[in-house]
Amino acid sequence: MSIPEAPGSHPGPTSEPDFAAFVGLDWADQKHCWKLVAAGSTDFTQGEVKNTPEDLQAWAAGLYARFEGRPVAVGLEQSRGAVVFQLSKFPHLVLYPVHPTTAAKYRQAFFPSGSKNDPVDTSLLLELVLHHRDRLRRLDPDTAETRLLQMLTEHRRKLVDEKTRLSNQLTAWLKTYFPQVLAWIDDIDSPLGCAWLQRWPTLQELQRAHPGTLRQFFQQHNCRSAQRIQQRLDAIYQATPAVTDRALLQAGASITASLVALLKVLLETIAKADQEIEQVASQHPEAPLFAGLPGAGPALRPRLIGAFGTQRHRYTSASQLESYSGIAPVTEQSGHSQWVHFRRACPKFLRQTFHEFAAHSIAKSVWARAYYQAQIDKQKGHHAAVRALAFKWIRVLFRCWQNRTPYDEEIYLRALEKHNSPLATGCKWKTVGGFKKFSAEKA
């Protein structure tokens, strides 16, 4: 039986559907266990479905036919992945992802011995979606453009992390047998560094090169300073080999060549990813709102667009986004004791996005720099101060996002001055080109 597929996102905020049935689905690599109860009934049915697109299609079609297309609530211990993506295309299946920690703690509450099996997990997931779905976040996918941007930017970040990992390995090996090159190249994983090490992986090979060849190499890689080139040449021909062990030199050159080859591929891949992300971000309907953010460059701007998305009903307040993203701290209290600590259970990439944006805004925004310095003056560490700044940035950006108004630094500084905020009084006005602007200098 054919069933209509979901368009990829829900049209907007809706009340809870009148569910015809509730399902707990415990997914696995080969097959999934499920348990179902119809609304208003106490009779359960259960079974297994193979983890193939064809079997999942047939299973979903069976539910569609049995309940005449009415919505079915499905609880599963996964928020993203193959099963979620395959089930999301069926409009009659309303997914309630259950956090693995929630499922584990719920299981431990009834089975403190630690016993675990698929039928039990399926029953517990059904109980959660049947009795506690008000505490679960219903899966409500954003537009295809937003989800594409989210996937591309997160994948790019993983590529950058992989580049950093390989760069650290390369640096460690160079420190072993060729440490001088780290002082001659500013970024060892740059195109210049990769080309250099690919051509001359050891000091001995480098010193055998003709000075004219080296000058030509530097000029081809946009090194135009004659003084800088001469300094490098003098250092190269005066350098003393760090080691003379033939085994170490041969192994170092071989491993360096392999790491450089991988880095070159990653650099090309990241460059292509940047082009694709820029194309998608420039066409996103929310792009104008984030165009003028101080400190948000080509890499961070698309991430912020994906962080907010288009669904303004998703968060009723800025505090919800602050908590969900992990920027807001967690407060625990027991008796007369109370303590605040860093929030760990959160979408790590989302938290990283706001944290990095706040850090970059310090050099570009007058009030952000003043706020960060105020946190440092309170004896807070750098990252704690940046998180506090990110907390404040989310409140500002959330209001701009809700009102569909692009952020304007001058307007915000005027508002701070109007309310006698110390973030504005710590700065002064100056005239530039006949216009008054806030200066980053202290008044």
H-type helices in 3-81, by residue range? 53-66
pLDDT digits (tens, 9 = 90+) for 149-206: 999 999 999 999 999 999 999 999 999 999 999 999 989 999 999 999 999 999 999 9
Nearest to 105 by CA among 131, 137, 128: 128
Indicate the fold that domain 147-281 takes in CATH: Helix Hairpins (1.10.287)
Is 441 in a helix, a strand, or coil? Answer: strand
Whether 8 has a pLDDT exceeding 90, the answer reads no
pLDDT at 351: 95
Contact 136, 98 (CB under 8 A): yes
What predicted TM-score, i.e. pTM, was given to this entire model?
A: 0.85
Name the segment(s) of the chain with CATH classification 1.10.287.4070.
147-281
Considering the segment(s) 21-141 as one domain, its CATH architecture is 2-Layer Sandwich (3.30)
Per the structure block, which two tokens stand in for 202? 């050891």
Report the mean per-residue pLDDT for the chain. 89
Note whether 387 and 330 are within 8 A (CB). no
* 118 pLDDT above the threshold of 80: no
Does residue 8 contact residue 141 with C-beta atoms inside 8 Å? yes
Considering Cα of 349, then 86, then 28, then 26, what sign does the dihedral take? positive
Give, in order, the Cα–Cα distances in Å from 384 to each of 31, 74, 274, 293: 45, 39, 30, 22
Q: Which of 204, 202, 94 is nearest to 141 (CA)?
A: 94
Q: Does 34 have pLDDT greater than 80?
A: yes
Number of Cβ within 10 Å of residue 401's Cβ equals 24
* From-to residues of CATH 3.30.420.10 in the chain: 21-141
**Angle formed by the axes of helices 246-282 and 144-177, nearest 10°:** 160
Mean pLDDT of 294-316: 94
Q: What percent of the chain lies above the pLDDT cut of 70?
A: 92
Tens digits of residue pLDDT in 81-105: 788 889 999 999 999 999 888 888 8
pLDDT recorded at residue 5: 55
